[in-house]
Amino acid sequence: MAPRMNQKQTPDVDVSAAIEIWNAGVEAVDAEELVRDAISIRSDSLVVAGETYDLRQLKTIVVIGFGKCSGAMAAGFESAVKELRGVELSGLVIVPEGQNATSERVTTVIGRSRASNFPTETVVERTRQMLEMITGVDEDALIVAMVSGGGSALLERPLVPLKDLIALSQSLSRCGAPIESLNTVRRALSSVKAGGLARYVLEHSRASMVGLIISDVIGDALGMVASGPTVISAESITERRIAAREIITKFELQDAHRWIYNWLDQEVESLPPPDSVARIKNHLIANNSTAVDAARRKAADLGFLSGPIGNKSVGAIDANRDVNEVAEDWVELAMKVIGDRVSADCAGTISAGQATAFVAGGEPTVVLCDSPGRGGRNLQLTALVLLKLSERGVEPRLPIAFVSGATDGEDGSATVAGACFDSEMLRNVLRTSALRGGLQKAVLTNDCDAFFQRHGGRVSPPAVLTNVCDLHVMLIGGLAKET
């Protein structure tokens, strides 16, 4: 696609350009397409993410899945093997409401409602059915597991009462615990997480299993994606329980959840090393970096100089921290460029007269107020960046646009992916005290979706199904040199 340019050969700096870049990042991690591309069929073999399985010995393929885009992943697999003859295909995937995908031979079921990322009795029952489907499967079968973010709430065989597990998870979420902390606790309270599903396959079947994983965890620790059900953990049960207690203590929840806290301290026998671990394979097929890189390529195609550039102090945003800190970093970056105060190490590479795109990915954490409104990480981040820029009291000399959105299309309790703003909205907030006051209230009450619904700037969910954390884009304009 040719770059969109104005008459002075400068890319347009507006919300539509920012969303176009954001969408390009998300489309690069289309779950259905990623899985389809990971499968190939040769004359006598099936290749799954580089693993080769002899079709002369393969009679059955069982697809299982759990996660926000596992339905799309299953659809991609079914599409890739539709010409396969002599192999029976069946399966079960558990997805959240609104993330369904069409498969003819793999059953897709809804495990939880939209914007409620905790396990349900339905999830527990569907997990039981999935395990029953695996039980007794022979060595002429292949189990293909579709694993994606959100799977922690969509595959569950709890070791404690489900209501207690949910209550603790909700408390951690309200405290702003990052996903790694939440999953550390979940791994200690479940028999299917932390490699529990893989152990079940080894102990109750003779089949091989290959896990295809789309990561929503920065750093791509596969044992943390969906709490790692297909990844056999090197930790002992005791080590997992100690780690969970440390998380509970860190967030000062030991009194509120005393029963579970004490239960985690009980002595327990370690599980013996599993046999035939060679039957279990796992492959990462996409992550947040895949989306970030694609978004940067699109920005370059549109004529933007793409950050980060030079020293990491300019344009490198660590989005995996408290949302207030992340917002402050975005504002500081904007002020450096808008204020033409770029560090010397970038001299000659970036200037206030060059249209630039900065792209980052990750998941900020949000500590909720006592009675939060409607919103999520991305709505909160966008509102904070807008508010903090307005509090500087300086109207931008250069056009600016910002978008932050969840690649899975679910931003907390909102039904949108996130939010965006441009120079016009920033000027309105600067000039209108009532509007600025409304924005401040939205931030304090975690009710940012209502603000953007009222004043514009909500970002619709993407057209594709995926889940690789969040994606943020900031555009800052200026007149490029004429050629």
Residue 354: pLDDT band with limits 50, 70, 90 = confident
Instruction: Kindly report, residue by residue over 366-379, the tens digit of the pLDDT.
Output: 999 999 999 999 99
* 369-372 LR contacts (CB < 8 Å, sep 24+): 369/444, 369/445, 369/446, 371/445, 372/413, 372/445, 372/446, 372/447
28 pLDDT higher than 80:
yes
Say how far apart CA 446 and CA 96 lie, in whole Å. 23
**DSSP helix/strand/coil, 256:** coil
Helical H segments across 91-223, by residue range: 121-134, 162-174, 179-188, 196-204
Say how far apart CA 233 and CA 424 lie, in whole Å. 51
What pLDDT is stored for residue 146 in this prediction? 98
What pLDDT is stored for residue 348 in this prediction? 42
Q: Which of the given ranges, 90-99, 252-261, 300-309, has the highest pLDDT on average?
A: 252-261
Give Cβ neighbours of residue 446 (< 8 Å, ≥ 6 apart).
Answer: 366, 368, 369, 372, 373, 375, 380
Cβ-contact 80, 42 below 8 angstroms = no
What pLDDT is stored for residue 313 in this prediction? 43
Residue 24 backbone dihedrals phi, psi, to 5 degrees: -65, -40
Residue 211 backbone dihedrals phi, psi, to 5 degrees: -100, 125
Distances (CA, A) of 84 to 37, 294, 430: 16, 32, 61
Considering only CA atoms, give the Rg of the chain.
24
Instruction: Kindly report, residue by residue over 391-403, the tens digit of the pLDDT.
Output: 988 777 789 999 9
What pLDDT is stored for residue 249 in this prediction? 98
